[in-house]
Amino acid sequence: NALAEMRSLLLELHPASLADAKLGDLIRQVATIITNRTGLSISVRVEEQEPVPPDVHFALYRVAQEALNNVVLHASASHVEIYYSSQSGRLDLTIQDNGLGFDPAGVGPGHLGLSIMSDRVHNIGGTLETISHKGEGTLLRVAWIAPTD
């Protein structure tokens, strides 16, 4: 537990080390740390892990991290499902919880998590979709397609 927590903190402090690991493996690691810390059940499914550009790699790691932190802080969820795939120049990341849900349009300016995630995804040329309804949990869907020259 302490070793996993230390690794997580080091990754947060030294993002350059993120480039050495596959994104799916990093997402699994964050999920394990959060499960160990909170008891939240998290299942992670990774299909393909083709290399992605460093800016995309870093942005999506931070989005996954922020999304899971939001689940812990706000959702009162008992389970989260994460799906990640990068293949044929396309990256897909979905994070779905069975928590309280919320109205995405009603998120006030004091809650920056969704805004930060949206900015990160927009800055790499991807899309972020948030689907949530009160009492029905939340689904975050990120898509990124490699630019063609």
Tens digit of each residue's pLDDT, the chain (149 residues): 555 555 565 555 455 567 788 899 889 988 988 898 899 999 999 997 788 898 999 899 999 999 999 999 899 999 999 999 999 999 999 999 999 999 877 776 666 788 899 999 999 999 999 999 999 999 999 999 999 87
Contact (Cβ atoms closer than 8 angstroms) between residue 146 and residue 89: yes
The number of residues in the chain equals 149
- Residue 23 CA to residue 15 CA, distance in Å, equals 12
**Per-residue confidence (pLDDT) for residue 76, from 0 to 100:** 95
Residues 6+ apart with CB under 8 A from 92: 83, 84, 85, 86, 141, 142, 143
**Which domains does the chain carry?**
2-145 (3.30.565.10)
Amino acid in the structure at residue 20: D
Amino acid in the structure at residue 62: R
